[in-house]
Structure 1
Amino acid sequence: MTTTHRLCLVLGDQLSLDLASLQGLDAERDCVLLVEVMEEASHVPHHPQKIALVFSAMRHFAQELQQRGIRVHYVALDDPRNTGSVPGELQRWHSQLQPSELHLTECGDWRLEQSLKQCGLAIHWHADSRFLCSRGEFSRWAQGKKQLRMEFFYRDMRRKSGLLLNGDGSPVGGAWNFDADNRKALPKGLRPPAPARFAADAITQEVLALVAKHFPHHYGRLDSFDYPVTRADAQSLWQYFLDWGLAAFGDYQDAMASNEPFVFHARISAALNIGLLDLRQLCSDVEAAYGSGTVALNAAEGFIRQLIGWREYVRGVYWLKMPDYAHGNVFGNSRSLPPFYWSGETRMNCMRQAIGQSLEHAYAHHIQRLMVTGNFALLAGIAPSEICAWYLAIYMDAFDWVELPNTLGMVMHADGGYLGSKPYCASGQYIKRMSDYCTGCAYKVSESTSEDACPFNALYWHFLMRHADLLRGNQRLALIYKNLARMPESRQQALWQRGQHLLATLDAGQPL
């Protein structure tokens, strides 16, 4: 047997040839280990398409490494020797190969990283250089701040990267942020591009059969899987967005429309999060598209802000505040997640649309997550741990470092405003303004207290009333609380009673 000097464990969300722990490999003496394990696939009931994406991408990545002359040990899920956990497999292979060194890039999940640090093996840990801001750099930026604001962090990342800057360091266009230009509803008659689809090759077909066999009770369709699982196909998906989506992305990134699950969004977050795409290249391509006059500044800036602003920011918060962050629950919520989150069976058309496409595609864009499914969970007082587990399970791109701060902090405001300055609560009027979901809905968005009134309306005011002591002092909610105070007492009482009825219906396990 060939003596192993360095054994590099590569996780399913680290499928990048530029991964720090893979640099300087000696093809003669070093090898790479990839493992499919039940613990990571089932600690929440991950969408079958998500499991298929990760396993198929892992297998293709292993093949790519082998084609480059690198020795790879690959453990399939149904290998009878599989211990079922990442630490268990690392211990098994360490015992078998007796390597001189173990190398691993930082995990994307605090739970997994802790289990590896406690597995009794000496590991050389590498910072994850796929991100623009390291954990240590973010910690230094946050030091001494009582509250963190993404906008200021984002400006620092712009300065660090040099993206969309003039020669004197000022922002192109005279402003750092053009979000105010990115809130248009989709006009009638404007059709988004058809989504790019990728046929399953032999490897993916084998994985789909494996997932169907081992995870039959996980929520979500498997037969509609059409995601890229290789770097080449992920690059094709990205190029398709540059050609057909980016120009309209800025204007309509917050828009929602019935039976249009993707609108002008790129759908590249899953590929990016598992390592098939490179953050710096994406940003460079978008900046070049603006420089060539292909897209407007609000589209380019809005997309880059999502990547080097928000995405890097939530990762920084996650690693700065874990593990205590996961237990945040400032509103004291304890209500169980309604069963219709797993079925889509509800009379609320907006929820039916957002949940239905999530089950079909393992995908929803950020406004559907924040202002529909997330907004409802916030208003209904769902326990943060339950809605966080749902987001982690249901979405293709959801890994703990990005899902938890987005859901617990931004969606649920359960961290008390550490991540975001106000709760993102809204009535049905917001959904009406940004979508066509209210047309044909069983409920009337124009009403708040009648039996067929949109549930979002009364629940919105009920949420503000029951948490007034916590929220009335928030400057960004001051005008709303003034409007509440001006309401006749009879109106406030009717809204409260309607909200109580809706919450009681949920508690009885009945759909809305």
Structure 2
Amino acid sequence: MREPLRHLVLVLGDQLDLDASAFDGFDAARDAAWMAEAAEESTHVWSSQPRIAFFLAAMRHFAEALREQGRPLHYRRLDDAGTAASLAAQLRADVQRLRPSRLVLTRPGDWRVLQALQAVADDAGVPLELREDRHFYTTPADFAAHAQGRRSLRMEFFYREQRQRHGVLMDGREPLGGQWNYDVENREAFGPQGPGFDLPRPPRFEPDTLTRDVIALVRERFGSHPGRLDSFAWPLTRAQALQAMEAFMRERLPLFGPYQDAIWPGEPWLYHAQLSAALNLKLLTPREVIAAAEAEVRAGRVPLASGEGFIRQILGWREYVRGIYWTQMPGYAQANALDAHEDLPSWYWSGDTDMACLRDAIGQTLAHGYAHHIQRLMVTGLYALLLGVEPAQVHAWYLSVYVDAVEWVELPNTLGMSQYADGGLMASKPYIASGRYIDRQSPACRSCRYRPEQRTGERACPFTTLYWDFLLRHEARFARHPRLAQQVRNAARLDDAERAAILAAAKTLRRQR
């Protein structure tokens, strides 16, 4: 007869790590793991079908890994009879049934989920032991110590501290190669012929029986949700994630640096890693990914500029946005420093727009649940920022459509970096640009009905119109801004007729839903 249950270890959908801190001291004779699929996790924002399928399939594969290790597991599937609609409701029922002495949980990636599970524990009178997530290099307390006394938080300073603290890409006390970053070398665009026929393709992982069952479930239960599943081929297990990582290091990391900001229509992957989803679900650890990239640099197989640019996204940016999230929540989610209140255009859910760059980025997103960082920041995010969309709506869209979206990483990237909704806490300026920026990074403008150099008129690029409108609307706010003042002065030179034409054209764009 099994002993009374000591610890019920809660495993969330973004915690698929057999070595997670919640499993420390796990005793198969006295403890059990708990996992649950809950409809609310797909509907509290209207999640896309690729995102739902990715989480559910990865969870079910992880459940198999737990069972293979002989760890007792209580797993509730979405299609099981009697499954509760929310994680909290399902946990409440299972705590009453299993009567554990303690709940154990690695820190979640979502403030909402942590509050809900803590409330269940409090109501049931069962202690909830929250353990730090050692998947990350830093804890929220570490970041709070870094942030203390700073009026603004800049990733570059934090990143340098992390390089020194963890000895990454260092030559003694100095950065390898003598520079901390190589952004200047990493801003190339593809030539007129594009990336070429020899562009390496990331490995595809054809759905197995378990994944096919999940895809069928998602199509049946969430068929009205956006996105498509016909090309679904994400890594769902640790073995697959390791294979994807090794292929990237070998085939695409050498040219990642120069082309990390480049866009090419119809080419969703280019030289990007597509490892963020596996990292965010904990199928990979950042330490092993960074170690692999650094080894390639030191072996001379990858240029330092490419290796450093990639490592900065993980050791710098990824850790930084998590620190912002946990030190600023829950109020951060309501930030709206630019007083933006427009609705997100309905075509963000369909890609049905005449703007070629947005049509390509959104269509790709709905097909694959993926777009690289420049498409997110400087195409979909830029348009929402210039249009003046309410930041909470932009946040909900990003959290809905991308397979790698977990709130701790998505929310600061959207509200802070993309929409400047925190008023400059994490970004030194709003990332605004006219259609000319997109024209430099992508050939999309060549096939578009709009002209990036025109700000008014029938063929004026909406990005360009709205760029000038943004500067006029926020003229007083940014007149003395050290990085935007020159752009504001350029707008100030417009005569009254041109100003009126821009404002009228922008008003027309805001009526188009």
TM-score under structure 2 length normalisation: 0.96
Deviations 1:402-434 (A, max 9, x none): 111000111110110001010001000000001
1:480 corresponds to 2:487: yes
Q: Superposition pairs for residues 279-318 of structure 1, below 5 Å?
A: 279-318=286-325
What is the CA distance between 1:153 and its match in structure 2?
0.5
Write the letter of the residue equivalent to 1:177.
N
Contact 2:215 2:229 in 1 (8 A): yes
Range with bigger deviation, 101-110 or 82-91: 82-91
Partner of 2:160: 155
Distance between the aligned counterparts of 1:343 and 1:390, measured in 2? 12
1:175 aligns with 2:200: no
Q: Distance in 2 between matches of 1:482 and 1:338?
A: 30
- Shift in Å at residue 483 of structure 1? 2.0
Instruction: Indicate conservation of the 8 Å contact 1:47/1:362, yes or no.
Output: yes
Name 2:230's counterpart in structure 1.
223
- In 1, the alpha carbon distance for the partners of 2:95 and 2:503 equals 61
Alignment of 1:63-462 (within 5 A): 63-119=64-120, 120=122, 121-167=126-172, 169-189=173-193, 190-191=195-196, 192-462=199-469
Letter in 2 for 1:136: A
- Matches of residues 8-23 of structure 1 in structure 2 within 5 Å? 8-23=9-24
SS at match of 1:73: strand
**AA at the equivalent of 2:227:** G
Measure the CA separation in 1 of the matches of 2:99 and 2:338.
Answer: 51
Instruction: Give 1:60's aligned residue.
Output: 61
Shift of 1:229: 0.6
Contact in 2 for aligned 1:158/1:165 (Cα 8 Å): yes
| 2:8 alignment partner, SS class | strand
Q: Write out per-residue CA displacement over residues 136-164 of structure 1, whole angstroms, 9 at most, x where no aligned residue.
A: 11111111111111110011111121100
1:296 maps to amino acid = P
| 2:233 aligned counterpart, secondary structure | coil
Q: What amino acid sits opposite 1:114 in the alignment?
A: Q
| SS of corresponding position for 1:80 | coil
The answer to whether structure 1 residue 493 and structure 2 residue 507 are counterparts is no
User: CA shift at 1:493, angstroms?
Assistant: 3.4
Tell me, yes or no, if the aligned pair for 2:386 and 2:432 is still in contact at 8 Å. yes
Could you tell me whether the CA contact under 8 Å between 2:395 and 2:410 is conserved in 1? Answer: yes
CA deviation after TM superposition for structure 1 residue 214, in Å: 1.0
Alignment check: 8 A CA contact 2:348 2:362 kept: yes
SS in 2 for 1:401: helix
| Alpha-carbon distance, 1:73 to partner | 1.2
Taking the aligned partners of 1:342 and 1:10, their CA distance within structure 2 comes to 31
Q: Is the 8 A contact 1:318 1:325 kept in 2?
A: yes
Asked whether the 8 Å contact 1:315–1:401 carries over to 2, the reply is: yes
Identity between Structure 1 and Structure 2 (%): 47
SS at match of 2:483: helix
Tell me, yes or no, if the aligned pair for 2:103 and 2:127 is still in contact at 8 Å.
yes
The whole-number CA distance in structure 1 between the counterparts of 2:499 and 2:94 is 65
Deviation for aligned residue 1:487: 3.6
Is the contact between residue 9 and residue 90 of structure 1 (CA under 8 Å) also seen in structure 2? no
Gaps of 5+ in 1: none
Give the counterpart letter for 2:119 in structure 1: Q
Deviation of 1:250 (Å): 0.3
2:388 maps to a residue whose letter is G
Q: Deviation digits for residues 24-49 of structure 1, max 9, x if unmatched?
A: 21122211111101111211111111
Is the 2:33–2:73 contact (alpha carbons within 8 Å) kept by the matching residues of 1? Answer: yes
| Most deviating of 267-276 and 192-201 | 192-201
Q: Deviations over 1:453-486 (max 9, x none)?
A: 1111111010011011212221001221222233
| Structure 1 letter corresponding to 2:88 | P
In the alignment, the residues of structure 1 paired with residue 323 and residue 247 of structure 2 have an alpha-carbon distance, to the nearest angstrom, of: 30
Please list the CA deviations of residues 288-314 of structure 1 after superposition, one character each: whole Å capped at 9, or x if unmatched: 000000111111110110001111101
Count of matched residue positions in the alignment of Structure 1 and Structure 2: 505
**CA distances 1:231-278 after superposition (whole Å, capped 9, x unpaired):** 001111111111111000000000001111111001111111001111
Task: Give the letter for the 1:112 counterpart.
Answer: V
Query: Which amino acid letter does the alignment assign opposite residue 374 of structure 1?
Result: G
- 1-structure distance, mates of 2:505, 2:220: 45
**Do 2:343 and 2:393's aligned partners in 1 also have CA atoms closer than 8 Å?**
yes
Which secondary structure state, in structure 1, belongs to the residue aligned with residue 109 of structure 2? coil
Give how far 1:180 is off.
Answer: 1.7
Deviation at 1:489, TM superposition (A): 4.0
Matched residues in 1 for 2:190 and 2:490: separation?
Answer: 29
Shift in Å, 1:215? 0.5
Q: Which moves more between the two structures, 17-26 or 291-300?
A: 17-26
Q: Is the 8 A contact 1:422 1:477 kept in 2?
A: yes
Unaligned runs of 5+ in 2: none
2:455–2:468 contact (8 Å) kept in structure 1 = no
Question: Where do 4+ consecutive residues of structure 1 move more than 4 Å?
Answer: none
Q: TM-score, normalised by structure 1?
A: 0.97
C-alpha separation in 1, matches of 2:44 and 2:437: 35
State whether residues 314 and 406 of structure 1, in contact with CA within 8 Å, keep that contact through their aligned partners in structure 2. Answer: yes
| Structure 2 Cα separation of the partners of residues 485 and 173 of structure 1 | 43
Q: Deviations over 1:313-358 (max 9, x none)?
A: 0110011010110111111111111011001000000000000000
SS of alignment partner, residue 437 of structure 1: helix
* SS of corresponding position for 1:196: coil
Matched residues in 2 for 1:435 and 1:64: separation?
43
